[in-house]
C-alpha cells in the first residue's frame, strides 16, 4: 500500500487568500511553505487502481501533480474516481464538483455525511448531468470492511461535529470518522484522522494497532484560535484536539509504535514555518509533520 499526502492544510490552505498572518505571509515569501487542502491518495498493488481520502478544492491539481494518478497509456480519460470521505466539511468535499469530467465517481461515506451532501449540497442534482455518481456506505471498523482498489476500508467513529451548513441535522457519532486502511496482502494498516475532537477508546485501540497514523494538527495549542482572534472558541471547542499542552495529542502519539504524522494544519499554526522551534519538540518525541507530496510505503 502506497500513501501519497496530496495536501496537508486545513480549510483555506496556506497561505489563505484573505489573511496576512505570519504563517500566510511566510508562505507568500517562501513558496516551499505553501500547503494545499489535506487529502490522501492510496494505491494498492495494481498501479492503475487508486482512491482518494477526501477531495478538497485543490483535488484536480493534486491529481495532475502525480503521474501515477493521471490517465494511463491508451486512456483518453480517467474512467473511475473513488473517494472516501472522513466528514462532510467543505474543505474535504468541494473537490467532488471538480471531478465531474470523470466517467464515473464512486463516493464512500457514512450515512449522515452522505445525507448532508445529497440533501444540503445537492451533489446528485449537480453532478449527474456530467458523470455517473454512485454512493457506497463506509462500514464501521470491527465489522466487514469495504474493499476499494484492493484495500480494506472502514470508519472509526470520532465525533458528532457537523458542518455549518448542516448544523441543524440530527447528531450522529459518525459525522466525523477516521479512515482505517488495511492492506490484506502485506498486513499493514494506516489510520487517517484529519479532524479529531476527542481521543476515544476506540480510536486509541485502532491507533495502537496501526503502522502509520495521520492525526489532526489544526492548532498547536488550545488557546490559539482565541488568542489570535480567529474564533471565540478554543481548539477543542472547534472540534480539534490541539497538538501540545494538557489534553494535546503529542503526549498520546509518542506512546504509539506507529509512524505518526500531523496533517490538516491551520495557517495560524507555528508548524507551517519549518524553522519554528515546535518542530524540534515534536522530533524529540519521534513525531512528524506531514508535507504535501510525501510518499509513504506500508
Q: Are 111 and 32 in contact (CB under 8 A)?
A: no
Mean pLDDT in residue range 80-103 = 96
For residue 22, give the nearest of 266, 282, 194, 244 by alpha carbon: 266
pTM equals 0.96
What's 211's domain CATH number?
3.60.15.10
Sign of CA dihedral 119, 144, 47, 62: positive
Task: Give tens-digit pLDDT for 175-222.
Answer: 999 999 999 999 999 999 999 999 999 999 999 999 999 999 999 999
Q: Nearest-5° angle of CA 89, CA 254, CA 264?
A: 20
Residue 125 forms part of a structural domain: yes
Provide the phi-psi class of 32: left if phi over 0, else alpha when psi is between -120 and 50, else beta: alpha
Distance CA 272, CA 215 (A): 15
Please state, for a pLDDT cut of 90, what percent of the chain lies above it.
92
The predicted pLDDT at position 186 comes to 96
Alpha helices (H) in 120-257, listed in sequence order: 123-127, 201-208, 224-227, 250-253
Distance CA 46, CA 35 (A): 29
Say whether pLDDT at 107 is over 90: yes
Reduced to 3 states, what is the DSSP secondary structure of residue 116? helix
- Judged on CB neighbours under 10 Å (0-12, 13-18, 19+), 152 is middle
Residue 289 forms part of a structural domain: yes
Residue 298 forms part of a structural domain: no
For residue 194, what is the DSSP state?
Answer: S
Task: Give tens-digit pLDDT for 30-82.
Answer: 999 999 999 999 998 877 789 999 999 999 999 999 998 988 777 777 878 99
Domain that holds residue 202: 2-293
- DSSP tally for the chain: helices H, then strands E: 10, 14
Residue 20 forms part of a structural domain: yes
Distance CA 142, CA 160 (A): 20
Tell me the CA end-to-end span of the chain in Å, nearest whole number. Answer: 5
Distance CA 142, CA 29 (A): 47
Q: Are 109 and 155 in contact (CB under 8 A)?
A: no
Number of domains in the chain: 1
Residue 60 forms part of a structural domain: yes
- Judged on CB neighbours under 10 Å (0-12, 13-18, 19+), 282 is buried
The predicted pLDDT at position 71 comes to 85
Cβ-proximal residues to 144 (8 Å cutoff; 6+ apart), any chain: none
Amino acid at each position: 500500500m502506497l500513501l501519497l499526502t496530496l495536501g496537508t492544510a486545513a480549510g483555506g490552505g496556506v497561505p489563505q487568500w484573505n489573511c496576512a498572518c505570519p504563517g500566510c505571509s511566510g508562505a507568500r515569501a517562501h513558496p516551499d511553505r505553501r500547503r494545499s487542502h489535506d487529502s490522501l491518495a492510496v494505491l494498492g498493488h495494481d498501479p492503475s487502481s487508486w482512491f482518494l481520502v477526501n477531495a478538497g478544492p485543490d483535488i484536480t491539481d493534486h491529481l495532475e501533480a502525480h503521474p501515477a494518478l493521471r490517465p494511463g497509456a491508451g486512456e483518453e480519460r480517467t474512467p473511475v474516481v473513488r473517494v472516501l470521505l472522513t466528514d462532510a466539511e467543505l474543505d474535504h468535499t468541494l473537490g467532488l464538483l471538480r471531478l465531474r469530467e470523470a466517467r464515473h465517481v464512486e463516493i464512500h461515506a457514512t450515512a449522515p455525511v452522505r445525507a448532508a451532501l445529497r440533501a444540503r449540497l445537492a451533489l446528485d442534482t449537480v453532478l449527474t448531468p456530467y458523470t455517473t455518481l454512485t454512493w457506497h456506505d463506509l462500514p464501521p471498523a470491527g465489522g466487514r470492511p469495504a474493499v476499494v482498489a484492493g484495500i480494506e476500508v472502514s470508519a472509526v467513529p470520532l465525533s458528532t461535529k457537523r458542518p455549518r451548513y448542516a448544523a441543524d441535522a440530527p447528531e450522529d457519532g459518525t459525522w466525523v470518522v477516521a479512515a482505517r486502511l488495511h492492506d490484506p496482502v502485506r498486513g499493514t494498516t494506516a489510520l487517517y484522522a484529519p479532524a479529531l475532537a476527542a481521543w476515544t477508546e476506540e480510536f486509541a485501540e485502532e491507533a495502537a494497532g496501526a503502522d502509520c497514523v495521520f492525526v489532526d494538527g489544526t492548532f498547536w495549542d488550545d488557546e490559539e484560535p482565541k488568542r489570535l482572534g480567529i474564533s471565540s472558541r478554543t481548539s477543542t471547542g472547534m472540534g480539534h484536539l490541539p497538538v501540545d499542552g494538557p489534553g494535546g495529542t503529542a503526549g498520546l502519539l509518542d506512546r504509539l509504535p506507529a509512524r505518526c504524522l500531523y496533517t490538516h494544519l491551520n495557517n495560524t499554526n507555528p508548524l507551517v514555518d519549518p524553522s519554528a522551534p515546535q518542530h524540534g519538540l515534536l522530533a524529540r518525541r519521534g513525531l512528524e509533520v506531514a508535507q504535501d507530496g510525501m510518499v509513504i510505503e506500508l
